[in-house]
Structure 1
C-alpha cells in the first residue's frame, strides 16, 4: 500500500473513531430505552437495540406532558436564539464600527457577564420577574436566557464585523447608503457563518438550560423538557427506559438544529474560497 493510501486510511479511521465517540451516547440512550429490566441489570450490557420494544417511545409520549415539554423547549430555544441574535447583530456592529465614550468599558462588562454563574442571578431576576408578572411564562424564560447569552453572541459578531473590510462600507457610503443599510446589505451576508455559529450557541444554551427553568416555571404543562425529565426521578424508583426514551427525543431536535446550521456555516466559510 502506497504512502498516500496509508495516510487516507488513517484519516478515515480517525474520523470514524471520533464519530463513534460522539454518537455513542445517543446510541446508548436508544439501546437503554429499548432494554427490558432484565437487560438493564444483566452482567453483560446489551449492545444491540431490541426493536420489538419501540412502543416505549409511544408510552413515554403518553406519560405526563412530554409533548408539551418538548414544545416548550423548542419555543424557548427558538425565542432565545431570535432575541439574542436579533439584538447581538446591531450591538456587535456598533462595538466594531462606532466610536463612543465608554466603548472599551462596555466590551469589558459584556465579557465579565460570562463570568457570573446563573445561580448568582436567580434571586434578583426572580424578584424582577415577580414584579413584572413574568414568572411561570415562556416569555420570561426567553428574556432570561436571551439576556444571559446576548453578551457572548454580541462579542462573537463584533469579531466577525471586525474582519469585514471597511472599504466595502466606504463604497456603500459613496452611493448614499445609511449605517442600517450597510449593516443589512453588506455586513450581514458576509458574517453569515458567524451568525450561524452564534445561533447554535444561543439555541443550545436555551435548550439545555435548567436553573432558570426550574426556578421561574411552576406549572408542569409550562415546563421545558430539561426540567420535565428530572420529574421522572422518584424516591422509590425511576423508570429508566422512559427517562432514556424522553432524553433521546429531547436530544434529537438539538442535533437536527446543529446539522441544519452547520450547512450554512460551511457554505459561508467556502463561499469566497474560489474566484470565478
Structure 2
C-alpha cells in the first residue's frame, strides 16, 4: 500500500509538472498583456496579472484588425481541414485496397514530399498562383496548405484502413454495396479516430502557417493572425501588451480544438501506424 501511494504521488506530481510547463506560456501571455509599461520594464518581474489593464483585450478587438485576422485564420484552417481530410480519405483507401502500377512509387513520393521545406516552394508557387490569379486570396492559401498536409493525411488514413479486416468489406459487397458506399458506410466509421487525428494535424498546420501567408497575401484585411501579429513589430516601437493579447486570442481556438478532439488523437495516430 505504501509503494502504491508513493507511485501514485509521483505520477500526480509528474502530471502537474507537465501541465504546468504546457499552461505556463498561456499564463505568461496573460500576465504580460495585463501589465502596464511601468511594471513591464520595471526592475522586478510581475508574476500576477493586473486585471485593471483588461482594456488591452477590448481595444485589440475594437480596432477590428485582430478580429478580421482571427476570422481569416479560422476560414483558412477549416477550409484546409475539410479539403485535406475529404481528399485524404479516398486517397488513403485507394492506396490501401487497390493494386495498380506505380503504387509503391506514389507512396514513396507522398512520403518524400514531407521533406520539402516550404521556403523551397515559395518561388515556383508564387509564379503558379500569379498565373491562375490565386494571389492575395484565402482560397489560394487553403489550396497550398492542403497540398502540403494531404500526403501525411493520406498515409495516416492508409495505415488505419490497412488494419480493417477485408471480410467486412466483402460482406458489404455481398449485400450489394458499391465501393463508395463500402468506404462511407464501413471504413469511415471504423477509422473515425484516425480521421480526427488528421483533422487536428491539418487544422494546426493551416492555423500556424506563416511563410505562404506572408508571401501570397498583400491586403492587410485578408491576412491571417499569424501574419497580422508580426505586423505589430515596428521600427520605432512595439506594443508588447497588444501583441500578447492578440497572441493569446490566437492561441485559444487551436487549444480548444485540440481539447475537443484530443481523445481521438492518440488512438488515431496509433491505428494509422499499425501497418504501412
TM-score range, shorter chain: over 0.9
The 5 Å alignment of 1:1-276 reads 2-63=2-63, 65-265=65-265
**Any conservation in 2 of the 1:192–1:265 contact (CA below 8 Å)?**
no
Deviations 1:32-89, CA, capped at 9 Å, x for gaps:
0001112212232111111111111011123461110000000000000000000000
Shift of 1:171: 1.3
Query: Following TM superposition, where does structure 1 have runs of at least 4 consecutive aligned residues deviating by more than 6 angstroms?
Result: 266-269
Could you tell me how far apart the structure 2 residues matched to 1:268 and 1:102 are?
27
Could you tell me how far apart the structure 1 residues matched to 2:263 and 2:49 are?
30
TM-score under structure 2 length normalisation:
0.94
* 62-71 or 226-235, which deviates more: 62-71
TM-score under structure 1 length normalisation:
0.94
1:232 is paired with a residue of what secondary structure? Answer: coil
Deviations 1:136-194, CA, capped at 9 Å, x for gaps:
11111100101111001101111111111111111112212111111111111111111
- Aligned partner of 2:274 in structure 1 is none
1:234 is paired with a residue of what secondary structure? Answer: coil
Could you tell me how far apart the structure 1 residues matched to 2:38 and 2:16 are?
32
Could you tell me how far apart the structure 2 residues matched to 1:69 and 1:10 are?
43
Could you tell me how far apart the structure 1 residues matched to 2:179 and 2:154 are?
18
Could you tell me how far apart the structure 2 residues matched to 1:84 and 1:33 are?
35
Shift of 1:265: 4.4
Could you tell me how far apart the structure 2 residues matched to 1:102 and 1:10 are?
52
- Aligned partner of 1:273 in structure 2 is none
Shift of 1:263: 3.9
- Paired residues in the alignment total 269
Could you tell me how far apart the structure 2 residues matched to 1:20 and 1:140 are?
38
2:231 is paired with a residue of what secondary structure? Answer: helix
Q: Alpha carbons of 1:202 and 1:268: their partners in 2 closer, same or farther (altered >3 Å)?
A: closer
Could you tell me how far apart the structure 2 residues matched to 1:121 and 1:253 are?
28
Could you tell me how far apart the structure 2 residues matched to 1:197 and 1:267 are?
8
* 240-249 or 172-181, which deviates more: 172-181
> What RMSD, in angstroms, separates the aligned Cα atoms of the two structures?
1.5
1:47 is paired with a residue of what secondary structure? Answer: coil
Could you tell me how far apart the structure 2 residues matched to 1:39 and 1:23 are?
23
Could you tell me how far apart the structure 1 residues matched to 2:264 and 2:117 are?
31
* 42-51 or 58-67, which deviates more: 58-67
* 159-168 or 92-101, which deviates more: 159-168
